[in-house]
Amino acid sequence: MNATRRNLGFIGLGIMGAPMAGHLLAAGHRLEVHTRTKSKAVALLDQGATWCGTPADVAAGAEVVFTMVTDTPDVEQVLFGGGGIVTAARSGLIIVDTSTISPQATRDFSARLAQHGVALLDAPVTGGDIGARNATLTIMVGGDTAAFEQARPVLELMGKKIVHVGASGAGQMLKACNQILCALNILGVSEALALAESSGIALETVIDVLGGGAGGSWALANYGPRIARGDYAPGFMIRLQQKDLRIVQEAAQAAAIALPGTALAQQLFRAVESLTGGGDLGTQAMMKAVRQLSNRPPPANDAPRGA
């Protein structure tokens, strides 16, 4: 694939998918889109994207189709269900799945698609809603090397670090490792801020002083300020993080690997999920569980649902 105008498709236009698709459109590519809730596509349609009624319609005219949907069954439905991509896919089509799903399922999907001459790249992303909007995502890609090289130029429109990490499923496995780091980082941020808060130290001071030291992290820099102002609106929802951590634990069980810290993070996220609307809060709402364990009331600016 070169830098000329291409026929692309994008399926799934949520918090991450919509800005990612927008970068493809802004680069001058022809873009056909589909998502379960058509209203989420309005901004892209206004910018020149074309609406398709089914995933099959997206695939019919595309060279590369991106998917960004919620879970493994959703990807399977988009690929193989009624009106799915495989019903209209031509040999040579490249599907780039940027969702976070099961590595084993990805390998199975890849084998099934190969029977139709279709290549599947598993290309989960990290960097959150901020990275999606700013085209600074890290994209970890598993699958056929030749297909990756063909897709690389358009992947580079959405991310800053694009790496082919191995065969089919390798991208999803590396994303599982990433989700361990994300879960334990936000736990560390929440505990540090809770201790500072109990001592009367302003959370903004904690973020400013510690952010440049050995304890600094992406989570502290990006989620710390949201916690400080009581903002739990989702960049990434807890219920989706929990879905990812279930994938992590399935992979760990298959490999006979113990992940006690991940299990603890899952339980704390579950405590937040028990709150009304808790699963739809951003992962920075881990702070709510840490405060509850210490029987400390939230500050006055702490919004109950991140509003």
With CA atoms as reference, report the closest residue to 55 among 11, 109, 99.
11
24 by Cβ neighbours in 10 Å (0-12 / 13-18 / 19+) ranks as buried
Which pair of tokens denotes residue 264? Answer: 């603890």
Place of tokens 């009304």: 276
The alpha carbon of 303 is separated from its chain's Cα centroid by a whole number of angstroms, namely 24
Give the up-direction half-sphere exposure of residue 173: CA atoms within 13 A in the CB hemisphere: 16
Beta bridge partners of 125: 139
Spatial separation of the C-alpha atoms in residues 266 and 282, rounded to whole Å: 14
Spatial separation of the C-alpha atoms in residues 282 and 272, rounded to whole Å: 10
Q: Answer whether 164's CB lies under 8 Å from 145's CB.
A: yes
Cα–Cα distances (Å) from 165 to 33, 36, 123, 128, 289, in that order, read 28, 31, 10, 20, 35
Which of the following is catalytic: 38, 40, 160, 175?
175
Dihedral sign, Cα of residue 128, residue 172, residue 14, residue 159: positive
- Is residue 175 part of the annotated active site? The answer reads yes
Q: Answer whether 75's CB lies under 8 Å from 85's CB.
A: no
Spatial separation of the C-alpha atoms in residues 112 and 46, rounded to whole Å: 36
Find the DSSP H helices in 92-169: 103-114, 128-134, 145-155
Q: Answer whether 159's CB lies under 8 Å from 137's CB.
A: yes
Residues with catalytic roles: 175
